[in-house]
Amino acid sequence: MKKYRDIIDGINEHLEFEFIELDENVDDIMSQIGVTGNINEEDSEETSEPEEEKDEAPEEEPVEEDPTPVNLMKDVVSVAKSRKMITVTLGDGVEVKLDALTADKIIDVYGNLNDENRLKFIELLGKEEATHKKALVFVYKQTE
């Protein structure tokens, strides 16, 4: 059986990645770079076509993208150490409460997973409310 310290060290190894939320203006900047080769708005105005010549295409409805998963393992470890309940925000913006008992069970299950499944588990735990609940059901079934 793995010791608590070994499990925490394993968790810390996988905490190296962070999900970055991009600014809304990135698409505008990238389109300017693709057209003109630089970011200056003055240069892009010179090369853009007048509004009259552009074909009027119907605007496409935005496609719903999957929410970006959030790595909650730092929060899980801090709850397990402090023994206090906290509220965490998932990738879809939903806030859920995390208590010490659940954090302990998550750490126990996480410690018994292989590397590939650990990454999947972290993704499920922090992606959206539905996947978070599935991960918690898995945790409680494994620790019965």
Maximum Cα–Cα distance across the chain: 72
How far is 23 from 61, CA to CA, in rounded Å?
20
pLDDT in tens, 12-68: 666 554 444 444 454 555 555 454 444 444 444 444 455 555 555 555 555 567 788
Q: What is the pTM of this model?
A: 0.57
Find the mean pLDDT for residues 88-117. Answer: 94
CA distances from 76 to 49, 64, 91 (A): 53, 29, 16
Confidence grade of residue 11 (pLDDT, cut at 50, 70, 90): confident
Which of 52 and 109 is assigned the larger pLDDT? 109
Residue 77 has a pLDDT of 94
Q: How far apart are CA 87 and CA 12, in angstroms?
A: 21
Domain-wise residue ranges, the chain: 23-53, 67-142
C-alpha to C-alpha distance for 61 and 53, rounded to whole angstroms: 23
Contact 74, 110 (CB under 8 A): no
